[in-house]
Structure formats: C-alpha cells, structure tokens
Structure 1
Amino acid sequence: MHNESPKQLIAETKQPIPAKPGQLARYDYEYSRKGVCNIFIATEPLMGKRIVRVTSTRKKQDWARFLEEIARKYRYAEKITLVMDNLNTHKPASLYETFKPKKAKTLLDRFEFIHTPKHGSWLNMAEIELRVLSNQCLNRRIDTITEVRRQVSAWEKERNNKEAVINWRFTTEDARIKLKRLYPSV
C-alpha cells in the first residue's frame, strides 16, 4: 500500500506560553507559513512495517525514487504489489523520466500496481497510516523539513519496532454493499 500527503511547514510568530499546573500551553493564532513538504508512505499491513520518506517536492522523480527505495528494501521479493490512488505521478512513465530505460524497465517489472477506485482512497491502508502519523506526530506547528524528517523517522522506527498493524474490519460482504455500483450487474 502506498500513499502520500503534503505537510505545511508553519512557524510561530510569537513565543508560546508553556503549560503550568492546571493550565494548558497557549499558542497565538497567528503563524508564519514556511512552505510545504511531501510525505511518501508505503505499508506492509500484515507485517506491521512501513517506509516513510519526506521530500521537498512531490514530483514524478520523487515518486520514482521512492519506488526505487521500496524495491531495494524488498530486493528478494519477486513481485511487489502497490495499492495506490490515481495521482498523476503514479504512472510507469515517471520511472522512464527519472531513470535510464533499462533501470526503469527493471524497476517496473518488480511492481504490480493496483489503483483504488475514484473516491475510494479510504480503501488504501496507507491512508490510515498517514492519518496515524498525522495524529501522533505531525498535528502541531513544525517549521522546517529537517524537523519533519526527524519526527517522522522516530515515528517510523517506533511503529516498525512495535510491528503495529491496522485492524482492518472491512469485509467482503461490506464491500458488496458499499461498492455495489462497481460490481457488474447479472
């Protein structure tokens, strides 16, 4: 499973007031926007493993290099299946635009791509992992990509060490009801 998400880099404009006994920390509503970074995530849901990378852009080349990293991590796998959305960067051409043809073809042969239906990204477990990452790690103002990388790396290591898995409760019967319009009529 694979997904990606932007993260705004936001700095405080005034010094926050730290928490005291009986009083929460206080932050000013005003902030300074410092740009955006991109978070790529790939999950191996049954094993409780994930790979997360933070990049300064979300270009075809960034995605292709992330695939290269996944392929390197799973170098002994014959085929790597990626479930992902239909984003414009998620195309085989991205590999050819980034790498020499021989390398692009070698990488492409390692992957099987399964695209979620339009408006069905919630079917992608990597989307759930991104939500967990956001809630546990990135739900505050962070002003530099370096700090985002540091936080994400620590989160990734902790989740992988715990082998944290997603309790997926969407059954085949649920799919037949919820996705009825996608099934052929007989």
Structure 2
Amino acid sequence: MHVGLSKKREFHYTPKHGSWLNQVEIEFSVLSRQCLERRIADVQTLSQEIAIWESDRNSQQASVNWRFKTKDARKKMGRVYPDIAPRKVDLPDY
C-alpha cells in the first residue's frame, strides 16, 4: 500500500440498527425483486439493467414506505429497546 494513502484512511462508526440501514435494505430488496431475479450474462449488462431500473424508479419518484407499529418494532429490534415492563418475580413461601 502506498504510504500516502494509508495516512488518509479514516474509519467511521455506523450503527447496525440505524433506520437508514433498514431503508437501504428495503431498497436493495426492491431492486432484487424487480431487476435481478434472472441470470445476467456479464457485468456490463448488469450495470445497464440497474441504471435503467434506477432511472425508472427515480422518474416514478418511488420511495421507501418504512414504518411499522411500536409493538412490531420492539419485536424486530428487541435488542436495542429496553424492556420496561414489570417482571413477575417468584418469592419463596415462608
């Protein structure tokens, strides 16, 4: 590696549970279903197909409708939401 390049390297923390990441995953899922469900012969054709799909999607002003109920959010992303519900504690009988 060139020494000059290694001095310019920066690392940025990006949380795995960020809402932007979910939106990106949804958009990739749409791309996969609408454009990539078949064999594509080469990288050039792949690039062209994705560019056409992207142009169509942008001209339609398509967007990601990313929302769900709080209960569903807690179920899907439970590890990032604290559990504030009271817990049942079994006490010994005296």
Structure-1-length-normalised TM-score: 0.34
CA displacement 1:50-105 (0-9 Å, x = unmatched): xxxxxxxxxxxxxxxxxxxxxxxxxxxxxxxxxxxxxxxxxxxxxx65xx61xx55
In structure 2, what is the Cα distance between the partners aligned to 1:162 and 1:113?
A: 33
In structure 2, what is the Cα distance between the partners aligned to 1:148 and 1:139?
A: 12
What is the Cα deviation at residue 142 of structure 1? 1.0
Q: Which runs of 4+ in 1 moved over 3 A?
A: none
**Judging changes above 3 Å, is the alpha-carbon distance between structure 1 residues 177 and 130 closer, same or farther for their aligned structure 2 residues?**
closer
Greater fraction of residues in helix: 2
- Structure 2: unaligned runs, 5 residues or longer: 85-94
Partner of 1:168: 66
Contact 1:116–1:124 (Cα < 8 Å) also in 2 = no
- Identify which of 70, 74, 77 aligns with 1:179: 77
3-state SS in 1 of match to 2:14: strand
Q: Where does 1:133-172 land on structure 2 (aligned, <5 Å)?
A: 133-172=31-70
- Structure 1: unaligned runs, 5 residues or longer: 1-95, 118-122
Calculate the aligned-residue CA RMSD, in Å: 2.9
Partner of 1:25: none
What is the Cα deviation at residue 128 of structure 1? 1.5
In structure 2, what is the Cα distance between the partners aligned to 1:143 and 1:165?
A: 29
1:116 maps to 2:16? yes
What is the Cα deviation at residue 113 of structure 1? 4.9
Amino acid at match of 1:157: S
Structure-2-length-normalised TM-score: 0.61
In structure 2, what is the Cα distance between the partners aligned to 1:133 and 1:178?
A: 23
Instruction: Please identify the structure whose Cα radius of gyration is greater.
Output: 2
**Judging changes above 3 Å, is the alpha-carbon distance between structure 1 residues 172 and 155 closer, same or farther for their aligned structure 2 residues?**
same
Q: Where does 1:32-111 land on structure 2 (aligned, <5 Å)?
A: 97=6, 101=8, 104=9
In structure 1, what is the Cα distance between the partners aligned to 2:14 and 2:68?
A: 18
CA displacement 1:125-175 (0-9 Å, x = unmatched): 211111211211111111110000000001111111211012223233422
Greater fraction of residues in strand: 1
In structure 2, what is the Cα distance between the partners aligned to 1:162 and 1:154?
A: 12
